[in-house]
Structure 1
Amino acid sequence: MKKLRSMVKQLKYPGWTVFFLSFSNLIVEGGAKNTESVFYLALKNGFKTGATVTSLVFSLGGLFGAITSPLLGRLLDNLGPKKFFVLAGIVIIIGWQLSSYAPNIWYLYIFYSFIAAVGHTSISSFTAMATLSPWFPATRGTVLGLADAGNPLGQAIFTPLSQALVLGLGWRWSFRIIGLIFFTLVFPLNLFLQKPAPKELDETDESTIDGELINSGHSFKAYKIQSVWWMIGARGFLSISNQMIRLHILAFFVLSGYDQMNAATAVGMIGVVSVLGRPSLGYLSDKLGREIMFTLGIGLQLIAISVLILTNNMNNLLPILLYVAFSGLTDGIGGLILSAKAGDIYPRVYLGEILGLVEIGRGLGIAIGPILGGILFDLNGDYLLAFTIAMILSLVSIGCSWMIRFSHYSKLTPVS
């Protein structure tokens, strides 16, 4: 009976409400991010544009996300999660609805690449992790992994759904319908259920964090901390790698002879596998360490890409099955592991600002990766060089993740 009461008490813990909202926000982020490969082909065919011009829609979105993420992180710290996420829902629906009426692709550089992208960045993993992390300090990696499973669930739901809508109704109505669904998942739930984290949950003793930076009377500046820059590097190089592959993977499969709907379903299945993979990564990172799991996870991703590059007969189902399995198990590892690491070593009151700065790396990756992949395809006619470069960048990201550990052990090291 006592054990039952304890379980009921745990379920009533308000942190689980914040967990549910983070999960819901990340479903939207996963949907927005992973439908881009579907809309890339639809926009390319609809406007009769080349790979580079079409990729620029999504690359600019990453660039604007990178520019605005530090400001959004500080805004989250100042406004609190409730007001912040409510505003995010409004921005998302405005961006998607305006995008559906674009008379040519250039309008999408404003409606989607800027307006919608700001909304996407506002509900991306860095804001979810900054909001949720303080509620579960003892099991941070595990809970963040569970919440981050919303991202691949969004992929599993919205990738095939958007493909079906595009084939049935066209891309314009697909934008309107998907945008309305995203708004419904973000706006009302956060308006009525979102909660601020109680101050007493913050276990970080700021006196143990570089006193010269925080307690000397000077304002805190995240960009002066050396470990933050290594974290930006790890996030950025991995993001470029992932985005070079993510946006073009559907086109790669179609070019290799797969049916377009079947290929979209396979990409969606990565999300299904990742629903289990992300909580597992989070749990193992709590037990084995963030850097070790970061290294092992990216290693699996490299195996998955190598299988696609080295297999000549793409009519064989084995390569695509291995890609789905390995990519699904490790999808989203950058945001998950690095956010958990940030929660481990930085004070709660600065998490929004710090993770917003780290999000610059992801935003630059989204800006550079898609268009770089498009340029390399236009130059070479295939994705071999693009995917090879992506693998090299993933290895660089591993090196940066270990430098976070070495540059920040007992103190935050200021950048001179």
Structure 2
Amino acid sequence: MRNSRSPWYIAIVIAAFCTLIGAAGFRSAPGVLMNPLHEEFGWSHGTIGGAVSVNLILYGLFSPFAAALMERFGVRRVVATALLLVAVGSGLTVFMQQAWHLWLLWGVVIGAATGSMAMSFVSIIVGRWFVARRGLVSGVLTAAGATGQLVFLPLIAALAGSYGWRTPALAIGLAALLTIPVVLLMLRDYPKDVGLLPYGAPKDDPSVQEPTRRPGSAVLATFTTLGQAARTRTFWLLAISFAICGASTNGLIGTHFVPAAHDHGMPATTAAGLLALIGVFDILGTVFSGWLTDRFDPRLLLVAYYTLRGGSLLLLPALLGPEVHPPMWAFILFYGLDWVATVPPTIALCANRFGQSAPVVFGWVFASHQVGAAIAAGGAGYLRDTTGSYDAAWTIAAALCGVGAVLSFLIAKPLVLAAQHRADQERAENEEERPEPLRTG
């Protein structure tokens, strides 16, 4: 086994980053295309939001199964197949005429395919390839989702405005196909496949030299892991708080920010640009969150993130308008830094509590994230259709963020931090009991 100095570690991060960029951009496109679809087909915001809800649910629910499939059949095979499904699903949307076509293609096909390249994929890459710098790497890979928004959303909005919504749908399919060679050339399943140990792993540690593969059915293994994790209090606190995270980000802001801003007179291209700018700041915020996760109690980081996010959502209704004023710029900056900063601490808590089962467990936690996002996507569309505005949606999401902060505080202290705390206490007690040396002279 070679040591930790190898270009393969960088190549793996680059390949995973490109994959996650594509998955985020492919999945988030319906939020930008909502108004063009409404204008052409007459479908209500609730109907289109319902298709987005299916997309979000499958994006999350397929994540733990994808983690088990990756352990059974290999990461490269699963990811390449998922990219091919995205290309097929997005390409076929240009022929749709009924709302159920949208629900099937963008909801079911693309939702399941992008779910195979979701946050459990991050957990697998980080868990298999890195021992040191796990928080930082998880932050970098999580930021890829924001980069996907940055790259795709303004382009999708511009193409839809100039050529109609079918052109960006075809562009998404082409981008998915172009990502497949990157995955096949640069992605590997285990460090052992290229003669390496995980980055930062001791050379004499036998536990990291042989990969652990799950025997039997991947589906059965996924549900077995869920059953074991569901017996713990930590799992439910993480799952519920992460559902709130999904509701207050992808489900609400990611899906409805552009039409909400348009309701206040802002051009859709400007609103899409602001949403992409959230992605710019999210890159910085998520990487910094990963750095903080390597150094501080991840529970307390989650408390801070949810509290600050809830406060910003309460202010949003007063900031929306036809033009972008300095307070809105401040919201974009602040909210962007906090967008998915919750992911590195959540991955760290899963890894700390669930060990080798962490990728599948985190897949289920991420599934709850997407269920929350789906409820918010459909619910916010319903509130918009019935009340004529999104104001109630912002208020409800802010209150839920307060609940998320409380739940995060109730999570048990990570085992490493708890052991360190006990060691510090014992050392302090020993120093108090130690008699002072006799002085002579």
Fold similarity call, TM over 0.5: yes
In the alignment, the residues of structure 2 paired with residue 205 and residue 241 of structure 1 have an alpha-carbon distance, to the nearest angstrom, of 43
1:146-295 → structure 2 map (5 Å cutoff): 146-185=140-179, 187-198=180-191, 201=198, 221-225=225-229, 226=232, 227-242=234-249, 243-295=251-303
1:13-162 correspondence runs (5 A): 13-162=7-156
Which stretches in structure 1 are left out of the alignment for 5+ residues? 1-8, 207-218, 412-416
For the Cα contact (< 8 Å) 2:316–2:331, is it kept in 1? yes
Structure 1 counterpart of 2:339: 331
Kindly provide the CA deviation profile for residues 117-175 of structure 1, in whole angstroms up to 9, marking residues without a partner as x.
Answer: 11111111221222233322222111111222221111111110000110111111210
TM-score (norm 1): 0.86
Deviation per CA, 1:43-89: give whole Å up to 9, x if none.
22221111111111101112233443332221122112111111111
Structure 1 runs (4+) deviating above 6 angstroms are: 202-206, 407-411
Which residue does 1:367 correspond to in 2?
A: 374
Q: Is 2:264–2:320's contact at 8 Å kept on the other side of the alignment?
A: no
The letter of the residue matching 2:396 is I
Query: CA 1:82/1:315 → structure 2, altered by over 3 Å: closer, same or farther?
Result: closer
Deviations 1:353-405 (A, max 9, x none): 21222122022123211110011111211111111111112222223323332
Partner of residue 209, structure 1: none
CA distance in 1, matches of 2:167, 2:325: 33
Q: Rate the CA distance shift 1:406–1:340 in 2: closer, same or farther, 3 A.
A: closer
SS at match of 2:15: helix
Aligned partners of 2:274, 2:8: CA distance in 1, in Å? Answer: 37
Instruction: Report if the CA contact (8 A) 2:61-2:115 is conserved.
Output: no
Question: Is 1:319 matched up with 2:319?
Answer: no
Which blocks of at least 5 consecutive residues in structure 2 are unaligned? 208-220, 420-441
Q: Quickly say closer, same or farther: Cα 1:50–1:258, change in 2 above 3 A.
A: same
Q: Is the 8 A contact 1:64 1:117 kept in 2?
A: yes
CA contact (8 A) 1:144 1:336 kept: yes
Work out the number of aligned pairs and report it: 390
Q: 1:273/1:67 Cα in 2 relative to 1: closer, same or farther (>3 Å)?
A: closer
Question: Aligned pair in 2 of structure 1 residues 407, 342: CA closer, same or farther (>3 Å)?
Answer: closer
More displaced 10-residue stretch of structure 1: 48-57 or 35-44 = 35-44
For residue 360 of structure 2, what is the aligned residue in structure 1? 353
Which one-letter code corresponds to 1:167 in the other structure? G
Quote the Cα distance in structure 2 between the aligned partners of 1:75 and 1:50. Answer: 37
Alpha-carbon separation, structure 1, partners of 2:186 and 2:145: 20
Instruction: Quote the Cα distance in structure 1 between the aligned partners of 2:245 and 2:65.
Output: 22
Q: Contact 1:130 / 1:355 at 8 angstroms: preserved in 2?
A: no
Give the structure 2 partner of residue 376 of structure 1: 383
CA distance in 2, matches of 1:78, 1:159: 34
Alignment partner, residue 396 of structure 1: 403
Q: Is the 8 A contact 1:223 1:229 kept in 2?
A: no
Q: Which has the higher contact order (CA 8 A, sep 6+)?
A: 1
C-alpha contact 1:245 1:390 (8 A) present in aligned 2: no
**How big is the alpha-carbon RMSD for the aligned residues of Structure 1 and Structure 2?**
2.6
Q: Matches of 1:183 and 1:390 in 2, distance apart?
A: 36
| Residues in 1 aligned to 2:152 and 2:390: alpha-carbon distance in whole angstroms | 25
Task: Classify the secondary structure of the residue corresponding to 1:332.
Answer: coil
Letter of the structure 2 residue corresponding to residue 321 of structure 1: W
Q: Aligned AA for 1:359?
A: F
Percent same amino acid among aligned pairs? Answer: 21
What amino acid is the match of 1:260?
A
Cα shift at 1:321: 0.4
